[in-house]
Amino acid sequence: MQTKTNREELYSSYEWYRQMRETQPVFQDPDWGGLHIFRYADVARVLSDHATFSSDESRYAPAEFRDNSPISSSILRMDPPRHRQLRNLVSQGFTPRMVAQMEPRIKEITSELIDKVADKGEMDAIRDLAYPLPVTVIAELLGIPAELREDFKRWSDALVSGDEETTEEERQALFQEIGGMFGYFSQVLEERRTHPQDDLVSALLAAEVDGQRLSDIELLGFCGLLLVAGNETTTNLIGNLILCLDENPGVVERLRANRELVPGAIEEALRYYSPVKTMTRFATTATTIGDKRIEAGQIILPWISSANRDEAEFPDADRFDIEREPNRHLAFGRGIHFCLGAPLARLEARIALNTMLDRLPGQWQVADVPLERIKSFIVFGTKNLPLTWGA
């Protein structure tokens, strides 16, 4: 069953975060025993201190909490030294120079997408721009056909979906989609072994760490992670940015008049409605957070969305301020797992926003219809975002 929601319901979690920061900043969940962390300083520490707070679920998570898909063998779920070795491999595809070289192509894709809607005066900002832009970019980077976008969308949604309302039947359907994705990537890897191309998948197949090639499960984990992280979070960044602009009339005109404010608007959207809500960590040793003792092996959920609204770090935190300085948000994480694709996500959002400012005149308005939230513990965003513009 899909969840139709009004804005209040969509944003209700922010009220929960505020209450928890004030009353129970380190909260043990009575249902499953994990610890929820809500304040900025504590969340930043959990994300930064990989020696105390591990990402490796294979060592610490109870069986029922394990992913059991190749994603669990990706760098997202690894600690050093293996994490460092694999990250160094794939980071070669995301250096500032490599990302800068992609700018003309990203502008071309964005212009083509806006061409289809500019004269209509309306679009669904997710369906017509925020989703197809990043998925086309990441598909071209991986060397897989962007025509399979509909499949990619289903697979990506399946990997991040699931919350307390998800039924067992829905969960099984999600597992089936994820299996389909890894089946597809197994075929792609087989083809590239025989016929290498100039793309990231071929580069990963050829790469060696200490004289060893990546295992099949590590390769699949990389492909799945890059596909999902490369589109899901950027889709939600662009969508959430449009929501912020809709809620703050006048900002679009300020941005149109002064494009130097665009990067700051993107950073503030990342803080204000963080695309990623939380990540999972495991205590490697007994420690304390605040006045709470934490036992070795305990599951920890650092709430990035809550940290980014913490008044102790961000004065007037519930105000959307495109000139906020400093803005040390945690939307891309912190420490060794800081998002590899952050420069690419920022570039895509900047090009998308500038192209919209160039091509979509007058006032922008999100239609007053129910917005369907993404049912996910991990990401924050909506599945639909009908937008109009003009006089």
Domain ranges within the chain, ordered by starting residue = 42-361
Beta strands in 102-236 (DSSP E): 122-124, 208-209, 212-213
Per residue in 53-106, pLDDT (tens digit) is 999 988 876 666 666 667 777 888 899 998 998 898 888 777 788 888 999 999
Q: Using N-to-C axis directions, what is the helix angle for 132-142 and 103-115, rounded to 10°? A: 140
Instruction: Judge if pTM exceeds 0.85.
Output: yes
**CA gyration radius, the chain:** 21
Strands 122-124 and 371-372: unpaired
> Into which CATH architecture does domain 42-361 fall?
Orthogonal Bundle (1.10)
Residue ranges in the chain modelled with pLDDT below 50: 1-5
Look at residue 331 and give its three-state secondary structure. coil
What's the confidence (pLDDT) of residue 3?
39
CB contact at 8 A, 128 and 356: no
**What digits encode the pLDDT tens for the residues 261-296?**
999 999 999 999 999 999 999 999 999 998 899 999
CA angle 275-279-280, nearest 5°?
A: 165
- CB–CB of 205/196 below 8 Å? yes
Look up residue 215 and give its DSSP letter: P
Structural tokens at position 4: 């139709």
**Beta strands 299-302 and 35-37, pairing class:** parallel
Phi, psi of 365 (to 5 degrees): -145, 130
